[in-house]
Structure 1
Amino acid sequence: MERTSSFFLFITALLILTSVSQSLWSQQKYTLDPSTIKDPTGYKLRTGDRIRILVSGETEATVDTVLNGYGSVRPAYINDVKLAGLNVDQAAKEISRQYQLQLIYRRPSVTVLVTKYTEQMVFLSGAVNKKGPYILPPEVEGMSIVEVIARSGGFTDIARKNKVYVTRTYYNKSGDATSTKTYEVDVEALSKGTLSSGSAKRFWIYPGDRVQVPERLI
């Protein structure tokens, strides 16, 4: 009888430990993905952005253009240059490099300005007050999931706030989709700051992400 009792106590303790471990894992697992860290180098150009290219001292080389479906533009006098994924400083350096390679200018001073951002949308479904697309502010690279949901009207009364799913598609340098991952995010803990030690304080939402909020059992 004593052995049976000890066995049941052991099983109970094991189940509790497993439950706690799973809870901690559900809070921490998405922190292992590098995309949860905001890129410190600034806004990245993307297809549909309208930009102005200026070359110092060469007014005839000024070009107003839009990044095409390949993420490229055609500056004055040279072939297409791919700029998608670069910030404006990196884009200016790349155009300057191409001018030198194609023997147009020896030491060009190039400036790239964004004159109109393309719309960056995320999609919300489930137990949120405003379902459908949400347009991110044009000047941001991403936004925390807590802020996205708040700006979209917040959760409904029956939302399961501790288990929100974010589906994200990843692309290679050529712009081809390579994989899709779904993350389970404890938004309630993020908003209250009660995540376990070592977990990220924010989960970033990026253009194209799909946020699905399940309903809790009543």
Structure 2
Amino acid sequence: MLKEYTQLRKWLVGVVAAISVVALAALALVAVPVPAAADTTGYRLGAGDKIRVQVFGHEDLGGEFAVDGSGNISLPMVRSVKAEGLTVSELEDEIENKLKPEYLLNPRVSVEVLNYRPFYIHGEVNQPGEYPYADGMTVIKAVALAGGYTYRARQSKVRITSVGSTGGARDAEPTAPVLPGDVIEVPERYF
């Protein structure tokens, strides 16, 4: 009887262990809600962005570059390349096309955004001004960087003016995403 009990106990311990592993795996697959973040996959480059260009097999042709006020970057050999308004993949294609006919037979180019251009916040915040953009930036995070709301601030809605393909002004909630180059206006409340 003791032998049967020991075998039953081992079997139960194994079943409990298997159920625990399955339960932990199921918990790992549960989606955790994340606040809305800015979608930078279709991000268009603009003045103030800092990028890294790599030309595979030709390290001397790459490096870190800033998009200047006219929207260009200056690369070795090909000189000025228009970057403003292009996505990262479009800029890669543009650089490859400039290198292809005269300098390299089959160039492979990689472009990475190192620092996004800043965003701006003004109105009823304690420290209005220019701030560096970070992935996942929202209005409330931008307000926190700017020292918080003043006592006169309307905290329920702000006005965001965007540049590029998403251009135009829109009213936004505190959880709304902020993109590089956006201008956030925190209005004064009326009462």
Instruction: Pick the TM interval, shorter chain.
Output: 0.5 to 0.7
CA 1:60 to 1:38, structure 2 compared with 1: closer, same or farther past 3 Å? Answer: closer
Matches within 5 A, 1:170-209: 170=163, 181=169, 183-187=170-174, 202-206=175-179, 207-209=181-183
1:135 aligns with 131
Q: Is the contact made by 1:125 and 1:131 (CA closer than 8 Å) also made in structure 2? A: no
Q: Cα deviation per residue 1:133-178 (whole Å; 9 max; x = unaligned)?
A: 14133x43x722122223333334443323x341515457xxxxxx
TM-score normalised by the chain length of structure 1? 0.55
Question: Matched residue of 2:75: which SS?
Answer: coil
Q: Which among 161, 178, 186 is matched to residue 212 of structure 1? A: 186
Which structure: larger Rg?
2
Identity of aligned residues (%): 21
Q: Is the contact made by 2:122 and 2:184 (CA closer than 8 Å) also made in structure 1? A: yes
Q: Is the contact made by 2:139 and 2:178 (CA closer than 8 Å) also made in structure 1? A: yes
Matches within 5 A, 1:100-179: 100=100, 102-114=101-113, 117=115, 119-126=117-124, 128=125, 130-137=126-133, 139-140=134-135, 143-162=137-156, 164-168=157-161, 170=163
What is the alpha-carbon distance in structure 2 between the residues aligned to residue 106 and residue 70 of structure 1? Answer: 30
What is the alpha-carbon distance in structure 2 between the residues aligned to residue 37 and residue 113 of structure 1? Answer: 19
- Which amino acid in the other structure matches residue 131 of structure 1? Q
Note the residue ranges of structure 2 that are not aligned, 5 or more in a row: 1-35
What is the alpha-carbon distance in structure 1 between the residues aligned to residue 93 and residue 163 of structure 2? Answer: 26
CA 1:185 to 1:204, structure 2 compared with 1: closer, same or farther past 3 Å? Answer: same
TM-score normalised by the chain length of structure 2? 0.61
What is the alpha-carbon distance in structure 1 between the residues aligned to residue 37 and residue 112 of structure 2? Answer: 25
Q: Is the contact made by 2:49 and 2:116 (CA closer than 8 Å) also made in structure 1? A: yes
Question: Matched residue of 2:38: which SS?
Answer: coil
What is the alpha-carbon distance in structure 2 between the residues aligned to residue 205 and residue 79 of structure 1? Answer: 33
Indicate the RMSD between aligned Cα atoms, in angstroms: 3.3
CA 1:169 to 1:53, structure 2 compared with 1: closer, same or farther past 3 Å? Answer: closer
Note the residue ranges of structure 1 that are not aligned, 5 or more in a row: 1-35, 173-178, 188-201
1:32 aligns with none
- Which amino acid in the other structure matches residue 129 of structure 2? P
- Which amino acid in the other structure matches residue 132 of structure 1? P
